[in-house]
Amino acid sequence: MKKWILYISFAFILTACSIKPPDWIIGKWYNSTNPSEPEWIFTKDSVMNKQGTIKSEFFIDWTDKNLENKYVLQASHVLESEPHYEIFERISADTILYYISSDLKDEDAEKEKIKLIRK
Q: What is the C-alpha to C-alpha distance for residues 78 and 81, in angstroms, rounded to an integer?
A: 8
pLDDT tens digits for 76-116?
A: 766 667 778 889 999 999 999 998 887 776 555 556 888 99
Q: What is the C-alpha to C-alpha distance for residues 100 and 13, in angstroms, rounded to an integer?
A: 25
Q: List the chain domain ranges.
A: 2-118
pTM over 0.85: no
Q: What is the C-alpha to C-alpha distance for residues 83 and 93, in angstroms, rounded to an integer?
A: 29
Determine the distance from the C-alpha atom of residue 21 to the mean position of all C-alpha atoms in its chain, rounded to a whole number. 9
Domain 2-118, CATH = 2.40.128
3-state helix vs strand vs coil in the chain, percent to 5? 20, 45, 35
pLDDT tens digits for 29-74?
A: 999 888 778 889 999 988 887 765 554 444 456 788 888 899 998 8
